[in-house]
Amino acid sequence: MLGSFGDPDEMMHGIDKLQENNIKIYDVYTPMPIHGIEAKLGVKRSRLDIAAFCFGITGTITMLSFVYWATVIDWPINIGGKPHFPLADFIPITFELTILFCAFGLVGSYYASTHLFPGRAPRVMDFRATDDRFIIAIDAKENAEHVKIDNLLKEAGALEVKYNERKYVSYE
């Protein structure tokens, strides 16, 4: 079931009404970010910062390992008695590789977590959610009280409430 709202405040009121009646919300789709909606829906904190750290430290270790192997083990050159592994000389390129690994790793993580791989058609509940509508999606199989949900959404200010038989509407 999809409840379509024209105003974000009305949508937030609709979320409150549904939660007061113990109706589980599947997801909410909005054309813009709305402050505080994650807490209201109980969305877990993102672990993106942990992934970024792991990708960055992988880049740092990769670069320092390669430079150590190249300058100390594979091709040691004595230049004026300087050490084979002067760490300060390799800080800029190590930083660059850390950022590169972090950026590519996070882009890959984004595609993997959202299932938006290149060439795959995006799944959209309602096309107007990317334009001017605020959509509350409710799993109709989990919540059998369709008339009650319909009335609650309309009381909250829903412009339209519809039952979608397919799980997703595709661009195709």
Q: Dihedrals φ, ψ of 153, to 5°?
A: -65, -40
More confident residue, 1 or 130: 1
Helices within the chain (DSSP H only): 8-20, 37-41, 48-68, 91-114, 146-156
Residue 144 — pLDDT band, cuts 50, 70, 90? confident
CA distance 129 to 32: 9
Average pLDDT over residues 64-93: 87
Average pLDDT over residues 151-163: 88
Question: Considering the chain, what is the average pLDDT of its residues?
Answer: 86
Q: Do residues 25 and 139 lie in contact, with contact meaning Cβ atoms separated by under 8 Å?
A: no
Strand bridging mode 123-124 / 169-170: antiparallel
Residue-wise burial string across 101-117, b where 16 or more C-beta atoms lie within 10 A, e elsewhere: bbeebeeebeeeeeeee
From the centroid of its chain, how far is CA 55? 17
Angle 46-52-54 from CA coordinates, rounded to 5°: 115
Per-residue pLDDT tens for 83-110? 888 888 899 999 999 999 999 999 999 8
Helix (H, G, I), strand (E, B) or coil at 126: coil
What pTM value is reported for the model? Answer: 0.66
The percent of residues in the chain predicted with pLDDT above 70, rounded, is: 93
Residue 76 is encoded by which pair of tokens? Answer: 């040691």
Residue 8 is encoded by which pair of tokens? Answer: 């974000």
Identify the pLDDT of residue 167: 46
